[in-house]
Structure 1
Amino acid sequence: MRYDVVIAGAGPVGLLLACELGQAGSAVLVLEQAASPDSPLKRLPFGLRGLNAPTLEALDRRGLLDAVAAGQVLKPEKGPPPPGTAHWLSQGRKLGGHFAGIPFALDNVDSGRWPWRLRSPVGTQMAVELQALEAVLAERAQALGAVILRGAGVQSVRMGADEVQVEAGGQAFRGRWLVGCDGGRSTVRKQCGFSFAGTDPEFTGHSLSVELEDPTVLSPGRHTTAQGMCNFNPPGTIALADFDGGAGHRQPLDRESAQALLRRISGREATITALHLATTWTDGARQATAYRRGRVLLAGDAAHVHSPLGGQGLNLGLGDAMNLGWKLAAVVRGEAADALLDTYQAERHPIGARVLEWSRAQVALMRPSAGSRALAAIVADLAETRDGATYLAERVWGVGQQL
């Protein structure tokens, strides 16, 4: 069978794109490397994700928001957040977000300064669990006719004039179009010769789930140290930034090495009695110079990667899917020429570039240097002003961003 569109990757971006294409009647195949959608990295606390205003509005337009909201992590009427939730969300004062860990307060945000923003039936942000979000999107995609094949990661791609041939999971598939939504190490991007330009990492981020002999040795919240950054969310969720140029990325940690790392970065004699989960990430920031080559397109992390600071990546990718979905569907149906797809690049690439710069700016505030500490103090002062908080909210909530 030849599909209208083959999508590589069954994460939120690939699944939302499948929903968009499916509702337009396209025949869609989604290929996913992981055999199961279940993963501890997608569940709390590591799976906590924030949805911004454009994403919430898009989900509302598609009738998906109620199902997503049913599983939201933080509800105003439900009291304190669960263990492991970001420390800035646990404060008594109502906060609207943060920039490099520097929070801004809701009561300082003046939404009247956004005269272009139309009245919306949804809020500006919502915290969800990644696995729950994926489940909602997968159910909708399948209800609209999309085929999701798990345990079938893309192995090779051959581009032709009229179709794309994909080998995945030992099988061959054909599609009129292929969209790579297969993450930062995208096989589709590499196989199809996309240029991926940007900056190398300055640090390795370590996310740990541990048991501590004495949790009071560490102070809750985010703290910059002489070696990097330590963010402790009791009782045992820890994020560390080690400014090692990314050398520690994907290096395995056992309990002893995790403890040594924690002590070095935090400057505290913390003792880890059990290591439950450890994963790494970096602040490397790269973007495909083009989002399309012939019949192959990129979306989400396959098109752009950056540090997870500030939680912009998921929303950026979902915005890609919303922008590309209706355009690709129109081309598939023969209602628009292929040239319509060039507007996807024109509209989404600048937004991606702006998010990458937002990420790099946060890294500049986190560096363990006297200059960065001085700059962070000034930004913290600005975040306490009405102008500063409103600017940060506009960027973090995405209220000035178009899909």
Structure 2
Amino acid sequence: MDASVVIVGAGPAGLMLAGELRLAGIDVVVLERHRERTGESRGIGLTIGTMEVFDQRGLLRRLGPYETGGMGHFGGLPLDMGVLGSAHEAARTVPQSVTEQALESWAGELGADIRRGHEFLSYRETADGVTVTVRHEDGETRLSARYLVGCDGGRSLVRKAAGFDFPGTAATTEMLLADVRGVDLEPRMTGQQVGGGFVMVAKLAGGIHRIIVGEHGIPPQRRTGPPAFAEVADLWKRLTGGDVSHAEPVWVSAFGNATRQVTEYRRGRVLLAGDSAHVHLPAGGQGMNTSVQDSHNLGWKLAAVLRGDAPGELLDTYHSERHEVGRALLANTRAQSLLVLGGEEAQPLRDVLSELLRYPEVVRHLAARVSGLDIRYDVGGGPSPLLGRRLPHLPVTTADGRRTSSTALLRAGRGVLLDLDDNAVLRRRAQPWRDRVDLVTATPDTLPEGSPLTGTTAVLLRPDGYAAWAAPGSHRTLDSALERWFGPGRHR
């Protein structure tokens, strides 16, 4: 085999997956058709959920200086994200290009083989792997691998080559985007209604402003390339009366509100992650953030199967867990699409939702949904509120006096059994999994009021930070939970 895994696409999903696999010691080749990073930033910012993921892997320092904010939105209606009580706020000024650069440097330092100027053409599945045909400047090459993962975006060639079903709805309207210099504009909330359309303005780093404009009731155009900046400036003037024609365009693009999701995230030895698996209206940067978290879920599972620690059935949980997350993502972005794109007929809906947002429970529900903090996987059931959820950041002191946190304990990409009751019997039961799971005895520094850890004596964390077992409160025994997520124990 040339590699255990071939990943197509060096965007956030592909680079995150490459880093996760290398962290677990799996050899990986990443194929990217572009010779250089484009510098384009389709996504802006990182949600609270992704900030937690990046902190778990020690990636936040790679982003450079960034601003955080406690406000978000749902379809242009403001949300106070502070109600979630997270240790993080969303990063508002991190363009996708910076995220990609940070992930590429991380994956590269871990040993990922990233090949730019290499375009995926086709693949053939064999009994024990796949053979991938690639085009580059010297001709064509064939690579053999155990698995192929498509992270190559909404127009995924891997998805098409593998014959994945991709049902959904086509775009009904179009929005124009321009990143510009040389103009000073006041920020405008996403989807602000003006005249016969809507606008957005966001300040980016380096004196750049992002403008998004859309006109109600205008169908998408058939384009062979990006729109001219003059088209953006004309629409801006028509809707707002302002003039931005003198600005210097850095990047201009158009996008629609098509909504699609593959029916399965895995077909044999081919898997999909990110926009290859789901496309939707870009609302609050959820697409890029969900893509990163797709790979965070897949990486450790694929590594466990490749190392022989766990059976191939573990990969089925990638589909069952992330397909449901993608379905919920499409539902909330379609709802936001009605609010943003609906025009005057949607105003009563905006008014009603604005009234509902006076209730803290409604704000908390929507804030958790758009930030990725509402995810709960089916890990076996039980009354513990921790089960299936990502463990919130928890400062602890270990038995040997070391100050650390649940977040830092996950940096190595391994499972963690966090013993909060100094239970020697519990640790002995977990010994057969010691090569895959770190056994840590620790005491929480403090527990905030209402913490889901209140009364918990131990918790088993998967490498992605989600609780797979807790005591008390799990219907499964520790042994069965360890075997389900980490494979059979190695008894001496």
TM-score range, shorter-chain basis?
0.7 to 0.9
1:58-69 aligned within 5 A: 58-68=53-63
The Cα shift of 1:375 comes to: 0.7
Q: Deviations over 1:103-145 (max 9, x none)?
A: 12356x265xxxxxxxx7x414223232222222222212222
What are structure 2's unaligned runs of at least 5 residues?
377-465, 467-492
Q: Kindly indicate whether residue 99 of structure 2 is the aligned counterpart of residue 133 of structure 1.
A: yes
Residue of structure 2 equivalent to 1:296 = 270
Backbone CA RMSD of aligned residues = 2.6
**TM-score normalized with structure 1 length:** 0.82
Larger radius of gyration: 2
Q: Structure 1 residues 362-371 or 203-212, which shifts more?
A: 203-212
Q: 1:13 to 1:236 in 2, by over 3 A?
A: closer
The Cα shift of 1:219 comes to: 8.7
Give distance in 1, aligned partners of 2:276 and 2:229.
32
Q: Structure 1 residues 203-212 or 272-281, which shifts more?
A: 203-212
1:82-161 aligned within 5 A: 95-106=70-81, 109=83, 111=85, 122-127=87-92, 128-161=94-127
Quick one: which amino acid aligns to residue 73 of structure 1? Y
Quick one: which amino acid aligns to residue 71 of structure 2? G
Q: Give the one of 267, 270, 279 matched to 1:305.
A: 279
**Conservation of the 8 A alpha-carbon contact between 2:44 and 2:285:** no
The Cα shift of 1:281 comes to: 1.3
Q: Deviations over 1:205-233 (max 9, x none)?
A: 211134689x78x9944532453212234
Q: Kindly indicate whether residue 212 of structure 2 is the aligned counterpart of residue 239 of structure 1.
A: yes
SS in 2 for 1:139: helix
Q: 1:310 to 1:274 in 2, by over 3 A?
A: closer
SS in 2 for 1:149: strand
Q: Kindly indicate whether residue 4 of structure 2 is the aligned counterpart of residue 9 of structure 1.
A: no
Q: Deviations over 1:277-325 (max 9, x none)?
A: 3111111111110111111000011011111112211221111111111
The Cα shift of 1:203 comes to: 1.7
Give distance in 2, aligned partners of 1:269 and 1:322.
43
1:44-63 aligned within 5 A: 48-53=44-49, 55-63=50-58
**Conservation of the 8 A alpha-carbon contact between 1:48 and 1:129:** yes
Residue of structure 2 equivalent to 1:186 = 156
Residue of structure 2 equivalent to 1:73 = 66
Quick one: which amino acid aligns to residue 156 of structure 1? S
Q: 1:219 to 1:31 in 2, by over 3 A?
A: closer
Residue of structure 2 equivalent to 1:363 = 337
Give distance in 2, aligned partners of 1:6 and 1:184.
19
**Conservation of the 8 A alpha-carbon contact between 1:228 and 1:368:** no
Q: Kindly indicate whether residue 33 of structure 2 is the aligned counterpart of residue 33 of structure 1.
A: yes
Give distance in 1, aligned partners of 2:46 and 2:181.
26
Residue of structure 2 equivalent to 1:343 = 317
**Conservation of the 8 A alpha-carbon contact between 2:226 and 2:254:** no
The Cα shift of 1:100 comes to: 1.2
**TM-score normalized with structure 2 length:** 0.68
Q: Deviations over 1:329-378 (max 9, x none)?
A: 11111222222211111111011000001100001112343330111122
Q: 1:299 to 1:358 in 2, by over 3 A?
A: same
Residue of structure 1 equivalent to 2:479 = none
**Conservation of the 8 A alpha-carbon contact between 1:207 and 1:280:** yes
Q: Kindly indicate whether residue 176 of structure 2 is the aligned counterpart of residue 229 of structure 1.
A: no
Give distance in 2, aligned partners of 1:282 and 1:142.
34
Quick one: which amino acid aligns to residue 72 of structure 2? G
SS in 1 for 2:167: strand
Quick one: which amino acid aligns to residue 235 of structure 2? L
The Cα shift of 1:146 comes to: 1.3
Q: 1:106 to 1:17 in 2, by over 3 A?
A: closer
1:198-277 aligned within 5 A: 198-210=168-180, 220-221=188-189, 222-233=191-202, 237-242=210-215, 243-247=217-221, 251-264=225-238, 266=239, 268=241, 270=243, 272-274=245-247, 276=249, 277=251
Give distance in 1, aligned partners of 2:154 and 2:284.
18
The Cα shift of 1:177 comes to: 0.4
Give distance in 1, aligned partners of 2:199 and 2:101.
32
The Cα shift of 1:379 comes to: 1.5
Give distance in 2, aligned partners of 1:62 and 1:260.
44
**Conservation of the 8 A alpha-carbon contact between 2:5 and 2:148:** yes
SS in 1 for 2:26: coil
Aligned residue pairs, count:
365
SS in 2 for 1:196: coil
Quick one: which amino acid aligns to residue 103 of structure 1? P
Give distance in 2, aligned partners of 1:317 and 1:247.
27
Higher relative contact order (CA 8 A, sep 6+): 1
Residue of structure 1 equivalent to 2:404 = none
Give distance in 2, aligned partners of 1:289 and 1:147.
30
Residue of structure 1 equivalent to 2:375 = 401
**Conservation of the 8 A alpha-carbon contact between 1:29 and 1:149:** yes
**Conservation of the 8 A alpha-carbon contact between 2:168 and 2:261:** yes
Give distance in 1, aligned partners of 2:171 and 2:18.
32
Q: 1:129 to 1:255 in 2, by over 3 A?
A: closer
Q: 1:220 to 1:400 in 2, by over 3 A?
A: closer
